[in-house]
Amino acid sequence: MSGLNTSSVARLDGRTLNPLESLISSKTARIGVVGLGYVGLPLAVEYASAGYVTVGIDLETDKVDAVTQGKNYIADVEANRLAAVVRSGKLTAKSDYDSVGSLDIIFICVPTPFTPSKDPDISAVLSAAKEIASRLRQKQLIILRSTTFPGTTEAYVRPILEEKGLIAGRDFYLAFSPERIDPGNKSWSTTNTPVLVGGITPECTRLAALSLQQIVPHIVPVGSPKIAEMAKLLENVFRSVNIALVNELAQLCDRIGGLNMWEVIDAASSKPFGFMPFYPGPGIGGHCILVDPFYLSWLARQHDFQTKFITLAAETNELMPFYVKNMVLREISMMPVSLREAKIVILGVAFKKNTDDVRHSPAVKILQLLLSDGARNLWYSDPYVPQLSVDSQTMESITLDEELLRSSDCVLIIADHSSFDYEMIVRHARRIVDTRNATKGFPFGREKIVVLGDGA
pLDDT value at residue 3:
42
Number of domains the chain is built from:
2
Amino acid at 286: G
**Rounded Cα distance, 287 and 355, in Å:** 14
What CATH number corresponds to the domain at position 56? 3.40.50.720
Residue 6 scores a pLDDT above 60: no
> Do residue 295 and residue 432 come from a single domain?
yes
> Do residue 342 and residue 202 come from a single domain?
no
Which residue, 202, 223, 244, sits at the end of a domain?
223
Which residue, 200, 223, 246, sits at the end of a domain?
223
Strand partners, 141: 105, 173
The confidence band for 243, taking pLDDT boundaries of 50, 70 and 90, is very high
Lowest model confidence (mean pLDDT) among 177-186, 188-197, 198-207 = 177-186
> Do residue 210 and residue 289 come from a single domain?
no
> Do residue 21 and residue 122 come from a single domain?
yes
Residue 456 lies in a domain: no
Residue 317 lies in a domain: yes
pLDDT value at residue 353:
94
Catalytic: 288?
A: yes
Q: What b/e string do you get for 170-182 counting C-beta neighbours within 10 Å, with b at 16 or more?
A: ebbbbbbbbbbbb
pLDDT in tens, 312-367: 999 999 999 999 999 999 999 999 999 999 999 999 999 999 999 999 999 999 99
Residue 102 lies in a domain: yes
Residue 4 lies in a domain: no
pLDDT value at residue 247:
98
**Rounded Cα distance, 39 and 74, in Å:** 10
The catalytically annotated residue of 204, 253, 288, 410 is: 288
**Rounded Cα distance, 148 and 145, in Å:** 9
pLDDT in tens, 424-444: 999 999 999 999 999 998 989
Residue 16 scores a pLDDT above 90: no
Residue ranges making up the domain that contains 35: 9-223
* 20 within 8 A of 175, measured Cβ to Cβ: no
